């Protein structure tokens, strides 16, 4: 980073809210216009620096001004890192922000959501893409897997991790391969939501092979009937991969069948873990479950419900003070206990297990799994496959599984 280059100005419409986290004072930066799609917690002693982010000063000048005003020598490398973080998260009025603003503004007016995981996770070229997705579907045998499932739980871990991941995806898709749904409800983890629980979208999903159609009439009915229980601003769908990963396989799996999707991102239920209470104790959660159950029951369509989720996230990368590799056997046992509750369709017992350990394994599929089970209250589950991805370079690991549910 050029220390003589002007630092872009902090955008004028950014909110900063004071908050104490683990006994330390922070300021939480957030963007009401959602160009910055997640908040940023800055230590309180960084905040005086931001007054110099006015589009007039270089790094050297800012350091000198800060030293003169506060008699503090601020580390130049920390300042460079702060500038880079603020810029990449779209809090600065930079050329990068201008590019992202253009992308976001286009997304808001477009009826179609563009894919964001091509190249990184799967091929962008149509023919290569079709072959790749077909290879995922065919990576496990149909033998021993009952068909015509009414619901499946799948991972949303990156496809590019290879065969082990593909086989776990495949096992779940084999359970619905011969089905003829008119509607596929996809409940995806929202990795970036703040206070939003339920975020549907009317947008159709583009893939390298064409468009996966959303039942926009059904979503508009949700907007009309669900009120403030759901979030009408769907901007979090723009960069979220959990639903995109499901759409690319569904398109190939049901290529000869006419179906639509109902895509709903689900935010964190951690506040209920923190309060040691059931999510249903909140009227927004219980109201959503009741209203969506009735909507699906009365829509008159043959459907499948999918939860696109991963399980645990452990190790150094996720803030643990241990290497994941040494905990993998124990993690498998803990995951097996959770999976047993899931396939026995016990959402409250499942959630209580997370409360007991304060979600110390960071189950990112916690909220979609809970909603999935409540929507399929009378279904029985079957375990299909389980896996772990151990990332040795970061001493971290993620676990995931595929399950099928039947009436």
Domains of the chain: 15-106 (3.90.930), 110-406 (3.40.830.10)
Residues 129-142: pLDDT tens digits? 999 999 999 999 98
Q: pLDDT tens across 267-316, in order?
A: 999 999 999 999 999 999 999 999 999 999 999 999 999 999 999 999 99
Query: Is there a contact between 8 and 94 (Cβ–Cβ < 8 Å)?
Result: yes
Residue ranges of the chain whose pLDDT lies below 50: none
pLDDT in tens, 180-219: 999 999 999 999 877 899 999 999 999 999 999 999 999 9
Structure tokens of 402? 């595929």
Instruction: Name the maximum alpha-carbon separation found in the chain.
Output: 73
């Amino acid at each position: 980073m050029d220390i003589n280059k002007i630092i872009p100005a902090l955008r004028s419409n950014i909110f900063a809210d004071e908050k104490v986290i683990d006994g330390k004072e922070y300021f939480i930066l957030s963007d009401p216009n959602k160009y910055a799609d997640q908040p940023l917690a800055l230590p309180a002693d960084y905040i005086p620096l931001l007054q110099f982010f006015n589009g007039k000063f270089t790094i050297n000048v800012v350091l000198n001004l800060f030293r003169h005003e506060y008699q503090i020598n601020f580390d130049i490398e920390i300042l460079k890192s702060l500038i880079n973080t603020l810029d990449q998260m779209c809090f600065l009025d930079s050329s990068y922000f201008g590019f992202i603003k253009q992308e976001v503004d286009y997304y808001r007016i477009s009826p179609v959501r563009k894919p964001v995981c091509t190249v990184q996770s799967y091929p962008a070229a149509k023919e290569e893409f079709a072959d790749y997705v077909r290879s995922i579907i065919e990576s496990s045998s149909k033998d021993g897997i009952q068909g015509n499932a009414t619901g499946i739980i799948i991972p949303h871990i990156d496809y590019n991790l290879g065969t082990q991941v593909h086989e776990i995806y495949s096992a779940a898709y084999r359970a619905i391969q011969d089905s003829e749904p008119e509607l596929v409800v996809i409940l995806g983890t929202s990795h970036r939501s703040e206070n939003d629980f339920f975020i549907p979208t009317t947008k159709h999903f583009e893939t390298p092979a064409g468009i996966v159609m959303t039942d926009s009439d059904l979503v508009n009915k949700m907007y009309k009937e669900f009120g403030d229980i759901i979030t009408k601003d769907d901007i979090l769908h723009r960069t979220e991969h959990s639903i995109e990963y499901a759409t690319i396989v569904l398109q190939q799996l049901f290529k000869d069948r006419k179906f639509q999707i109902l895509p709903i991102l689900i935010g964190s239920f951690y506040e209920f873990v923190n309060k040691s209470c059931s999510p249903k104790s909140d009227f927004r959660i219980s109201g959503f479950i009741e209203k969506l159950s009735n909507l699906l029951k009365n829509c008159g369509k043959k459907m499948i419900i999918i939860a696109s989720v991963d399980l645990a996230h452990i190790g150094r990368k996720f803030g643990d003070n241990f290497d994941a590799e040494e905990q993998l056997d124990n993690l498998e046992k803990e995951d097996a206990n959770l999976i047993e509750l899931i396939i026995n369709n016990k959402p409250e017992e499942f959630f209580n297990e997370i409360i007991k350990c304060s979600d110390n394994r960071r189950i990112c599929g916690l909220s979609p799994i809970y909603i999935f089970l409540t929507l399929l209250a009378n279904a029985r589950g079957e375990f299909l496959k389980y896996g772990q991805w151990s990332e040795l370079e970061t001493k971290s690991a993620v676990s995931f599984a595929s399950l099928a549910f039947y009436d």
